[in-house]
Amino acid sequence: MSGVERNWQTIRPTIRERSRSMFNNDLFSDVKFVVHRSDHERERKQVIPAHKFVLSISSPVFEAMFYGELAETTDSIELPDCDYDSLLELFRYMYSDEVILSGSNVMGVLYLAKKYMVPSLADKCAEYLQDNLDPQNVFGILPAAQKFEEKKLVNQCWEVIDEQTEEAVNSDVFATIERSLLEAVVIRDTLTIEEIELFKAVDLWARRECERQGLAADGATKRRILEVEVIKGIRFPTLKREDFISVVLDSEILTTKEIVSIVECLNSISKPPVNFPQTKRCGSVRDIQRCRRFEYSSATGWFYSGKNDAISFSTDGKDVVLHGVCLFGSESNNYSVDLELTNSENASVVVSKTGTFYSELLQGDQYSYYGFRVLFDKKIILTKNTTYCIRASILGPPSLHGLNCVRCVQCSGVTFTFKNSQYPNTNGTSITQGQFAELLFNIN
């Protein structure tokens, strides 16, 4: 037996040591895996010997493959969907509980850990990615984290993107992301970046995509590739006039009608265009004050069926800018929301917002909860000592809800006072329980 001493069992006192000695070893091997391996720009096939028993006690997929009703009868299995280094690390973990991860193999190992149902190895890969996450690689890691449903890693990626946006969008990887991810970035209110710098990154993405498709990078082609959702996510009304003229106009992605309306807006000639968000991005939510309404949240038990949840509130001390609200949800679900803020004293609508929102784990100052933020597209100033009502009609899966409401909450020198709403409240929210976990605001 090559590479193993005579009577090798006697000098390896533990089953772990004896199992480790069988890793990548022909001794007793009853199956071989053929995979591709790249060496110095040359690709070749290489064989990894293995033992069906060891693989099967580590993976239900291998158990079915070797001992199930449709078990493999061949002793040589070719795997075209993985490379040598990644499969070797999967097997190393199965034989020894050890794995050697690196930037070049971790994605491949994570894929195999998910494919062959080895969750403890998938956790190690996710931890490695979390420990090595930075603005330069975040857009390479996020798609894999979403694909493999690594929720904690997904949330950490978005935190990096929100807090270090400019560095992240100027990375080499950003120019290669899928258009769907580009859209998800552009519509986020919580980015920390000057709008003109975000536009430059989006325009560069469009030019690179034209190159990949062998197309001329003219304005019409870039607009078609970006699609209207991405373009409408750029907050052109917040730009400086000189940046709009020297950078945006040169890109040629806007229509004449859009250009005229934005120029009129920038020069205060007419009402700002309604087709583009009109306020600057609020930046990372860590910079926003949060008025928390409840002392804690329940595990489950709140149902959304399109009925109204509503609560009234007022502030004293100072006028505030209301950026939006946090609503409760449940883990990794989508919710359709029709939200409206009204001035209770004259029944006028202050702002409304509709859309579909994704629930994720939100970090509170005293507790965390699954929920989602509904952020407004324009600056909302709340006048002190004025009563407002906020109402939401929501459709989606069962949700968490808040308990033990604090009726008077003091935040940054402002006291928020909550009371039951006179608006028809058909879904149960009140000053003691229900929805509207937090109000997101700054001092005006």
pLDDT of residue 195: 95
Q: Are residues 350 and 312 in contact, defined by beta-carbon separation less than 8 angstroms?
A: no
Q: Are residues 414 and 443 in contact, defined by beta-carbon separation less than 8 angstroms?
A: yes
Q: Within 13 Å of residue 355, how many CA atoms lie on the same side as its CB?
A: 12
Do the domain assignments include residue 281?
Answer: no
Do the domain assignments include residue 272?
Answer: no
Of 131, 162, 197, the position where a domain reaches its end is 131
Residues 318 and 411 in one domain: yes
Residues 10-21 have pLDDT tens digits of 888 899 899 999
Q: How confident is residue 284, by pLDDT bands cut at 50, 70 and 90?
A: low
Sheet holding 42-50, edge to edge: 42-50, 31-39, 76-83
Q: How confident is residue 49, by pLDDT bands cut at 50, 70 and 90?
A: very high
* Structural domain range at position 232: 149-266
Instruction: Output the CA torsion sign for 135, 137, 141, 143.
Output: positive
Residues 213 and 334 in one domain: no
Q: Are residues 442 and 320 in contact, defined by beta-carbon separation less than 8 angstroms?
A: yes
Residues 229 and 294 in one domain: no
Has residue 168 got a pLDDT over 90?
yes
- The CATH number for 239's domain is 1.25.40
Residues 425-441 have pLDDT tens digits of 889 899 888 999 999 99
286 vs 165, more confident = 165
Rg (CA), the chain: 28
Q: How confident is residue 286, by pLDDT bands cut at 50, 70 and 90?
A: low
pLDDT of residue 223: 96
Residues 125 and 153 in one domain: no
Residues 409 and 337 in one domain: yes
pLDDT of residue 287: 61
Q: How confident is residue 282, by pLDDT bands cut at 50, 70 and 90?
A: low
Give the total number of structural domains in the chain: 3
Do the domain assignments include residue 140?
Answer: no
Has residue 1 got a pLDDT over 50?
no
Q: Mean of the per-residue pLDDT values for the chain?
A: 89
Residues 337-359 have pLDDT tens digits of 999 999 998 889 999 988 878 88
423 vs 337, more confident = 337
Residues 262 and 303 in one domain: no
Residues 120 and 191 in one domain: no
Do the domain assignments include residue 271?
Answer: no
Do the domain assignments include residue 138?
Answer: no
pTM higher than 0.75, yes or no? no
Residues 258 and 333 in one domain: no
Residues 437 and 314 in one domain: yes
Residue 295's nearest CA partner among 432, 439, 442, 412 is: 432
- The CATH number for 407's domain is 2.60.120.820
Residues 119 and 161 in one domain: no
Do the domain assignments include residue 273?
Answer: no
Of 209, 231, 266, the position where a domain reaches its end is 266
- The CATH number for 62's domain is 3.30.710.10
Of 98, 131, 164, the position where a domain reaches its end is 131
Q: What is the mean pLDDT of residues 59-73?
A: 91
Residues 194-238 have pLDDT tens digits of 999 999 999 999 999 999 999 999 999 999 999 999 999 999 988
Residues 119 and 236 in one domain: no
pLDDT of residue 144: 95
363 vs 267, more confident = 267
Do the domain assignments include residue 423?
Answer: yes
Q: What is the mean pLDDT of residues 132-141?
A: 96
Residues 68-126 have pLDDT tens digits of 988 888 889 999 999 999 999 999 999 999 999 999 999 999 999 999 999 999 999 99
Residues 337 and 430 in one domain: yes
Do the domain assignments include residue 68?
Answer: yes
